[in-house]
Structure 1
Amino acid sequence: MYATTPGTRDVPTQPAPRLSARDRHVWVLFTDWCAATDQPQIPATPQQLARFLRENPAAPATQRRRVSVINTVHRGQGHPAPGTDEAIRRALNTTRAARLHRVSALVAERLPNIPVTGWPAGFFGRRDRLILALAAAGVGFEPIARLRRRDLTVPGNRGAPLLLCIDGARLDLPESREIPLGALYREWTEVLGFLDQNDVTTTIAEHFKAGRDLTGFDAGYRADDRPLLTSINRWGHTPLDPAPPTARAVAAIVHAHLSGTAPAHILPPPKPRPRPAKSPDRYPIDDGRVLDPHYYERGTAARRSAHHELTDVTDLLDDIEDRADQLSAELDGILNDVP
């Protein structure tokens, strides 16, 4: 079904969802503005919505309601909600904008000092740099922890905003020179692409230790349902079953970097192994000892003599055993005769 508005292109639309009289007034205002500016009402882009808000000034509460109504209509017709764009959210919430501006300034200051090479510092650094960039872009700690690989994509053209999908809502995360979110995302997908091909972290540890480049490994990265981020223990190893960090862990990572208390992630040097006691090359010899030249003959004769003398030992032991049995029988008879 096509709805044609004078002065606009023919665009496929669906009936708008049921709205209250107050919200219907907002939607009519938006559609009239779209018709006047020769733009489609469905789907609207974030830039188009930002222009609508700029050209129709109102109190912040009124503007937020307008964005909410426009988002509702878009979602009802299966389109991304244009009002979820971070720039629009900041424009409607000055307190949020001021807070994220401070966070972004700190993140931009910290990023150059976070390593992307070396083991395991580079492994931690690439993950933490992406977490910091997402937090500076306005993504909450809980959504960051729940991110799946398929939730974040980078358009082909450089400088375009990253597309983030959270709970079915699409967010546009714009690039900036101070926080190059796309580049930071690629740094981490290079790590994940390498792990997809090699499975165990010992292989990437050797790669980092050797100072090799990871460029190009993001080509093997698979945007599937696995967690985007991963937990890392102090030795640089990840769980065998992919396990993302918790929201509390994400918050701790962000706070540690912003406060300048993040660990260096330097492994302690291996403990030296104790050296085995060195055996002497020469053993001392008692030069004063004189051996009898006939000791062998004497020893052989002594063993032969003992063999002959002990030949009757078995018979003697058998005789003793027989006498013991006899005495035992006699004793039993005596005891049985006692009245």
Structure 2
Amino acid sequence: MNGPTHRDAAADRRADADVGVAAGAAQRVDRYAGEWALFVDWCAATGRVSLPATAETVHAFLLGCPAAPATMTRRLTAIDRHHRDRGVAVPPRSDQVRDLARGRAARPVRQALEPAAVDTALRRLPIDGWTGGWFGRRDRALLVLAAAGIPYRQLARLHVADVSVDGDGCVVATPSVSHVMPVGDDPATCGPCALVRWLRVLDLDATRSTRVLIAALQRRPAVDAASVHVCSQTLAVDPRTAQLPLLPPIDQHGWTPLDRPAPLSRQSLSQLARTAAAGQVTAHKAVAALIQDPSPAEPTTTAAAAVPPLTYDAHRWRRGVDQRIAARSALADLGDTLQHIDARIAELETRTKALLADQDAR
């Protein structure tokens, strides 16, 4: 009689390992059997699905069955374990669920922006002129994103690469869900169009000169119902632009810290969106059109013949872009310095007025 072979021994070891894994999984599940049973019973009583569960269901369960933070954490662990052991995606943790599990006070419910107010603001915010159109395009993009229901916390983390436009609308990818924004009927209030207009000038600011950006903003007519949908084509931006924050801060001079990418905070985004939706359009500094190089009214034939033909040199253009980036790095603190000077002037002016008033009082 033949004894067991090496193949039989290997099969026995694999079987023992499978049994051990199954037993370990069963033990983990049984440790949270009470919490899982409570969740299943609550879902059955409220007409909800326990497996797979949604983030809204988990949040409603924690609200409906209040307990100490440690108990809530254990219940969340039980829900996650049962989903994983059955090969089902774990429900995402919302900010409200995290707050409940940590014993924090519930955050105030975000008030949605009124659609009519958003439409009015989109028609009022400018898209042309420097610096009004520069601010206006960013704030229009912020308005349509906020109106789509994307939390300001997530808006503060968005990058240009998170927005894709394919001609049928746009998709904004956030950590929790992808928001689809369809094309609007009116180009003046179309959400994808507002995003495209902002991304185009942001791409110019990141890859070209400020002169090119200003010229592009000063050549644009106002947007109305007869305008063309600029979102009808696929939008492509430079790879460097794709890594930038979608909603960067802009100082009073129109400068954006793209060499030190930092998005606006969620508090600033919320304030900007609500201010714009309320119809309070900030008057930004206007800069006159760029002065073109003077040229003779009637050029002579000899002078015209002496002008060499223009040729596009990619290497020369690349050197120019690199020089601009280097200059921006060297002048990175210029905006802060100018703001400090403005603040100092205002302070001295206030002190001077106070001294004059005190002198008159004497």
- What TM-score, normalized to structure 2? 0.46
Which of 1 and 2 has higher RCO (CA within 8 Å, sep 6+)? 2
Q: Name which one, 1 or 2, has greater alpha-carbon Rg.
A: 1
- What TM-score, normalized to structure 1? 0.48
